[in-house]
Structure formats: C-alpha cells, structure tokens
Amino acid sequence: MSILEVRNLRKSFDGAPVLKDVSFSLEKGECLAILGNSGSGKSTCLRCINLLERPDGGSILFQGEDILSRKTDENRVRSRINMVFQSFNLFANMNVLQNCMIAQRKVLHRGKEEAKKIAMENLAKVGLSDKADAFPSTLSGGQKQRVAIARSLCMNPEILLFDEPTSALDPMMVAEVCNVMAKLRDEGVTMVLVTHQIEFARKISSKTLFLYSGVVDQFGDTGEVFAKPSPKFAEFLAVEKSM
Amino acid sequence: MNLGEDIARMLSTYWQQFLLGLAGTLLLSVVGTGIGLFLGIFIALGKRLRPKKEDPWYLKIGKGFLLGLSSTYSAVVRGTPMMVQALLFKYGCMMLGVNWNNILPGIDVFNGWMVAGLIVITLNTAAYMGEVVLAGLNGVDVGQTEGARSLGLSANQTLWSVVLPQALRNAIPTIGNEWIVNIKDSSVLNVIGVAELYFAAYNAANDSYAFMASYLIIAVIYLLLTLLSNLFLKVLGIKLEGKHVFRFFHGRRAAA
C-alpha cells in the first residue's frame, strides 16, 4: 500500500481552477519532487495534502485512509504529515527550544523532560544545539529553516512536506538546508518537495512530478523523467537552465 | 484672595479627600483597563467568527449569533458617551430594584457607587479593547497560524499559545493608550456619585468656594498621573523590545 495516494485532486480559488486533475502516489521512504512554473499549483497541492486547503474534489489516501472524509480528525493527520514553509513560520513568541516542544506537549502529550530530550536530539541533527535559547528573530534564514525542520522532526511525522524551503535564502544558507534534507533522505524520511532548485531536486528525489497549469504533465522515476522529458518539461528545464 | 494661598489652604484642608479621590481614579482606570482587556479578547474573538459554508446548521446559527452580539455591543457602547451609559446603568438598575446606594453603605470611597462605576467603566472599556485586540489579531502574520496548524495544534491551541500572545504584545501601546484615556474619562462617573478625583475636587470646591484652586489641583494630578503612566509604558516597551522577544513580522520580512 502506498503511504500517500492522491487521486483526481481539484481545487479552485474564486472560480479560477488551480488544480484541475492531479493524481500520483508515493511509497514509504521515497522523496518526491514537484516541479513546475509559478502558478502551476505546486504549493496548493502540498497545502491540500496538509489540509491547510480543502480540495473541491478528488481524494487523498494517507496509509489507505481518506483524509478528506468528514470523519477524519484533521489535527491528527497534520501531526503525521508535517509541513515546512518558505517563510519558516517559527513562533515569534517562543525560543527555539519552545518552538520544538509545544506541539510535542500539546498534540502528542509528551512529558516535559521527554519533549525536551527529543527537541535537543533533533536540534543536534540540524546542527543547532547551541541555539536552543535563542529567539527566532535573532537567527539567520538558514538557521530558521533548520529549526523549522527540527520542529517537524520532533513530531516523528510519516511524511514531511517542503514548500519551497530554500526560496527565501541566499546561496550559503540554501546549502545548509539542502544538506539537512539530503541527510533526512538518507535516513529514509518520506518527503514531498516543492522547489525551484532543479539540480538539487534531481539529486535528492527518487520520483519527479511536473505540474503544468494544474495538470500532471509528467510523473515517474526522477532518472527517467529527466532522461526523457516531455516537450513542456524540456521547455521548462531549458528556461530554468538559461537563468 | 490670591490663588497661591487658596491652593495651599485647599491642600492642607482637603488633602485626605484628594488622596481618596486619587485612589478611586487609579482603581477605576486599572480595574477598568485590566478586566476590560480580558473581556475585550472575547469581543474580538466574537467579531472574528465567520460562519462557513461547510459548517453544520447549529454552528452557523451559533457563530452568526455571537458575531451579531459582539458587533452590536461594540457599536452601541462605542457610539454612546460613557456618562450617558453610567446614568442608564444607574436608573436601569433602579428599575430592576437594585439601588447601589444601599450596597456597602457608609464607606468612604469604595461604596456601592464605586462598584457600579467599576462595572460601567469595565463594560465600556471592553468594547474599545475588542477593537484593539481585533487589530492585534489581524496584525499577526497568517504564517504563524499555518505553522501551528500544520503541526497538528488545534485552532484553540493555536490561538491561545501562538497568536494571542503576539497580538497582545503588539497591542501594548494601544492598550496603554486606553489606560490613559480611562484615567481621564473616569471623571464622568461622578454623575452617578462615584468618588473619584473630580468628585473629590467638586465637593471640596463647593465646600470652600475655591473653585479655581480645586480644579487646578486635580488638573495637575491628572497630568502627573498620565505623564507617569506614559513613562511606565515607554520603559515597558523598551524592556520587551530589548529582549528580542517578539519581532512579529519576521517571517514576512525574511520572505520578501
């Protein structure tokens, strides 16, 4: 059984269709890269999987369970499928350690000591043990994003969604964050990545999906997709390369 | 008679009344602002309710009712003078058989009318605080909510642990402003006999016929109170800023 199966997903905003018909599936331990032009629906697709947006139609099966069903506890689903944002979204009123502990305490009901231990382990994993007491406003962009990743890892999510995690960062910081993500891939964390860093996506992902104005244009193993790009994907790659 | 002598005479004769009046004014402004802020949070939450298409019918009705209630309350209270509200409260209570004169009788400042005054100023402040908190909540970046929800925190947990603390932090200058307004505007409560600073000066003036001196004294006291309050708020603001505790647009700024 696939860990995630998206079928015929549709979503429009104020009558303007963003996702027209999106289907794909993902196995445990895989890393899926979603590529596409701005406005092609990449982020909307991720936000639907995290239930930040309600799709208009289609279904999303997570471990075989339809998470769009009315009976689904969406908070439980979100705690299993975490999201890392372009703008980090660290809680400004809490320090790094508190950022990493709050969901563990309130959602997973872990004890204080346990939550702290897990938070420190994950901060060590992203190389930020020394920043536990710092407030988000004092961190660099790359550090913020690594804290955001550690915060999600503390929840032991089944799937981690990355919504353009490096788009707000300068090249040095991009490298920091990419290294952390490569490490997670090697550890077998299931990931879905929306990015404009095509070379990085190609390196890290096992599957690639190319979205073109709300429709899946190409989907398959990353090696194959890049070796035999569809006409639209080839054009996309050429434009991105010339930048 | 010259004014300087008058002032000296008033201070030596009526200093106790002025001091009690000052205590009354401080009590009214602090309690009114504090509890008003607490109630204002719920008014703001009420005004933020939006019945959604997918809500079941009872939620739609409930949300619509609370939205209407908080909006109406806010509009009516902010649209009428506190002096009129105090009188309506006084005579409304009398119609219902409650006379605040008979509650805590024979006590100097903290009598029944002070209790009535505290209720009026609190209910009045709550309406303004509702707007203050609402603006604060709307000013918190939506990413903070999304970050919390994406980790599995419920809407309530997100509000109380993440969004509201930041909203209140950002609203501190405006909340302080409301407090200063309350220091001055509590004077209108004398119409129902609340023993605050103006009430003390009014009585002392009528007693001694030194009108100018009496009102000059309380004008200076009001001014000192508001200047000191401003200073306190400024220090508080610097303290919070210096700790880098909140920089609430940090996400948006970094993303730009």
Chain B closest CA to A78's CA: distance in Å? Answer: 5
Q: Give me the amino acid identity at B219.
A: A
Beta bridge partners of A12: A17
Three-class secondary structure of residue A56 per DSSP: coil
Write the DSSP assignment of A157-219 as a string of letters: -SEEEEESTTTTS-HHHHHHHHHHHHHHHHTT-EEEEE-S-HHHHHHH-SEEEEEETTEEEEE
Structure confidence at residue B224 (pLDDT): 95
- The rounded distance, in Å, linking the Cα atoms of A74 and A51 is 7
Both tokens assigned to B210: 């030194």
For chain B, which residues make up each domain, given as ranges?
Answer: 3-255
A89 with B146: Cβ contact below 8 A: yes
Give the Å distances, CA to CA, from A108 to A62, A79, A82, A177, B247.
19, 8, 13, 26, 28
Beta strands, E only, chain A: 4-13, 16-26, 31-36, 57-62, 65-66, 81-84, 159-163, 190-194, 207-212, 215-221
Beta bridge partners of A22: A9
Among candidates A148, A158, A151, which has minimal Cα distance to A67? Answer: A158
φ/ψ of A2, rounded to 5, equals -70, 150
Chain B closest CA to A235's CA: distance in Å? Answer: 28
Q: Give me the amino acid identity at B248.
A: F
Structure confidence at residue B255 (pLDDT): 32
Q: Show residues of chain B in contact with A90, CB under 8 Å.
A: 147, 250-251
Q: Which of residues 46-105 of B touch A (CB under 8 A)?
A: 54
Q: Between A54, A103, A144, which is nearest B152 by CB? A: A103
The DSSP code for A83 is E
B244 with A137: Cβ contact below 8 A: yes
Q: Which long-range contacts (CB under 8 A, 24 or more apart) does A113-120 make?
A: A115/A154, A118/A154, A119/A150, A119/A154
Angle, vertex CA A189, rays to CA A45 and CA A11, nearest 5: 5
Structure confidence at residue B64 (pLDDT): 94
- The rounded distance, in Å, linking the Cα atoms of B252 and A89 is 9
> Under CATH, to which class is B3-255 assigned?
mainly alpha
A102 with B153: Cβ contact below 8 A: yes
Measured in residues, chain B has a length of: 256
Q: Between B149, B157, B245, which is nearest A93 by CB? A: B245
ipTM of the complex: 0.90
Instruction: Write the CB contacts of A198 (distance below 8 Å, at least 6 apart in sequence).
Output: A35, A237, A240, A241
Q: Between B152, B153, B250, which is nearest A137 by CB? A: B250
Q: Show residues of chain A in contact with B254, CB under 8 Å.
A: 87-88, 141, 144, 168
Residue A112 neighbours by CB distance under 10 Å: 10
- The rounded distance, in Å, linking the Cα atoms of A99 and A8 is 36
Q: Whole-prediction pTM value?
A: 0.86
Would an 8 Å CB–CB cutoff place A44 in contact with chain B?
Answer: no
- The rounded distance, in Å, linking the Cα atoms of B171 and B140 is 11
Among candidates B103, B143, B118, which has minimal Cα distance to B35? Answer: B118
Structure confidence at residue B242 (pLDDT): 52
Q: Show residues of chain A in contact with B246, CB under 8 Å.
A: 92-93, 137
Would an 8 Å CB–CB cutoff place A32 in contact with chain B?
Answer: no
- The rounded distance, in Å, linking the Cα atoms of A70 and A59 is 12
Number of A–B residue contacts, CB under 8 Å? 100
Q: Between A52, A75, A87, which is nearest B152 by CB? A: A75
**Residues A217/A223, Cβ–Cβ less than 8 Å:** no
Q: Which residue stretches of chain B have pLDDT < 70? A: 1, 241-256
**Residues A44/A10, Cβ–Cβ less than 8 Å:** no
Chain A closest CA to B139's CA: distance in Å? Answer: 13
- The rounded distance, in Å, linking the Cα atoms of A104 and A118 is 9
| 3-state secondary structure labels for all residues of B41-82 | HHHHHHHHCCCCCCCCHHHHHHHHHHHHHHHHHHHHHHCCCH
Structure confidence at residue B249 (pLDDT): 39
Question: Average pLDDT of each block of 10 consecutive residues along chain A (243 residues)?
Answer: 92 92 93 91 92 92 91 91 93 94 95 95 93 92 93 94 89 87 90 90 92 92 93 91 78
- The rounded distance, in Å, linking the Cα atoms of A230 and B7 is 92
Structure confidence at residue B256 (pLDDT): 28
B152 with A151: Cβ contact below 8 A: no
B162 with A91: Cβ contact below 8 A: yes
Q: Between B146, B153, B243, which is nearest A103 by CB? A: B153
